[in-house]
Amino acid sequence: MRLPSEKKGWLVYAVAVAALLSVAGLFVTRPWDFTGWDEPELRISSGTFTGNLDSVLKAEGLGDAERHGVSSALSKKLNLRRLRPEDSYELVFSTWGPLRSLAITKDLHLYSLSALAGGGYGLSVEAVALREASGKLSGAITTSLWDSMTAAGVPPAAILDYADIFSWSVDFLTEVRSGDRWAMSWDYKTDPAGKVVAQRITAALYYGQETGRKAAAAWKDGYYDEEGQSLRSMFLRAPLQYRRISSYFTNRRFHPVLKYYRPHQGIDYAAPTGTPVSAVADGTVTFAGWKGGNGRLVMLKHGGGYLTTYGHLSRFARGLKRGRRVAQGDVIGYVGSSGLSSGPHLDFRVKLNGTPLNFLKMKYRSSGGVSGTGRRAVAEAIRRLGD
Ligand SMILES: [Zn+2]
């Protein structure tokens, strides 16, 4: 039996149980077990660390020597300066005063400190048991993918995973329209407080007016569509990547819906100054510097005769220079308004053997696939999600 956290009714319950047990003369093993101690009643206090441990102990009336004893015993296994509001504690006192035990839950570990009969404290550490579950979530979009998924209860990390799965075929920053629908099935783990601490999306669907229907399911370490084609491709759908941008904006409590324009043979992505810009494919830097009206410009050479350029940057990624290899998704610079530009935006262009291409119309090419069992499993997972 484990002490449940943050239950307000627990104190009443504990007192009632303790009274009952003492009447019945029973003995039960509990995490705050004081073997051999006759404890008729208990006082329990629990909460999360809005202040440090010392201030909690002080507020509970512990004297200097007792606080020092508790802190030095705990600090053998736990960095007390790292306690945060998401970490919880439970203190158990005997009704006649002294602290009997203290339990702290942090980073999926339970630290149990208990007063020893002969004086001093014993400390044990164990992993917190996680609950595993599976489920399906779905929704319709009115403003952004982020808002819709958040409203449906999808945690931020899973939203980014979902966007990653389709990052070669859907630009969730510019191609989302009101009325689009999404669905996902997932396996996840929750901590005792109910917070999702790990997840894996097993299948994903997107129905977009701009994008059409997109489907994916996990097989081994990749995602595939019903035909068994890998979701991976040589080019990302956009140089402004959902994961990079969301983490950039999450810190600023704002989730942008970006726009793009096609005033020339490239694409202009309107985005705030400082927005991270990613390489759309693996490649080599052939130019990183100032180039007339382009301002700060990065040019990348890719396989198969492709060249991509990223203009008007406010700055380059650290260490970026000619000859440097970059991987797909790497940040190469940041949106700006350098050169001839009327406002912050990314000027993005693609050429194949010197000829400009319409990047948005380029044919999506899968990087591989699965057949047989894998293909059947993927098709079945997608079909079940769509039901
Ligand atoms: Zn432009």
Distance (Å) from CA 318 to ligand 1 centroid: 24
Residue 24 has a pLDDT of 40
CA–CA–CA angle 177, 234, 146 (5° rounding): 30
Distance (Å) from CA 206 to ligand 1 centroid: 30
Cα 333 to Cα 189, 260, 307, 313: the distances in Å are: 36, 18, 17, 6
- The residue whose two tokens read 């507020």 is 59
Best CA proximity match to 186, nearest among 218, 222, 145, 221: 218
Q: Are 103 and 3 in contact (CB under 8 A)?
A: yes
Q: Which two tokens stand for residue 327?
A: 């991987």
The model scores a pTM over 0.85: no
Distance (Å) from CA 22 to ligand 1 centroid: 79
Residue 345 has a pLDDT of 94
Distance (Å) from CA 291 to ligand 1 centroid: 14
* Low-confidence spans in the chain with pLDDT less than 50: 1-37, 39, 252-253
Best CA proximity match to 153, nearest among 136, 177, 165: 136
Distance (Å) from CA 336 to ligand 1 centroid: 12
Residue 349 has a pLDDT of 96
Residue 128 has a pLDDT of 87
Best CA proximity match to 240, nearest among 310, 142, 297, 302: 310
Show the domains of the chain with their CATH numbers.
10-127 (3.10.450.350), 130-233+366-387 (3.10.450.350), 235-363 (2.70.70.10)
Q: Are 226 and 203 in contact (CB under 8 A)?
A: no
Q: Are 103 and 93 in contact (CB under 8 A)?
A: no
Distance (Å) from CA 333 to ligand 1 centroid: 16
Distance (Å) from CA 341 to ligand 1 centroid: 8
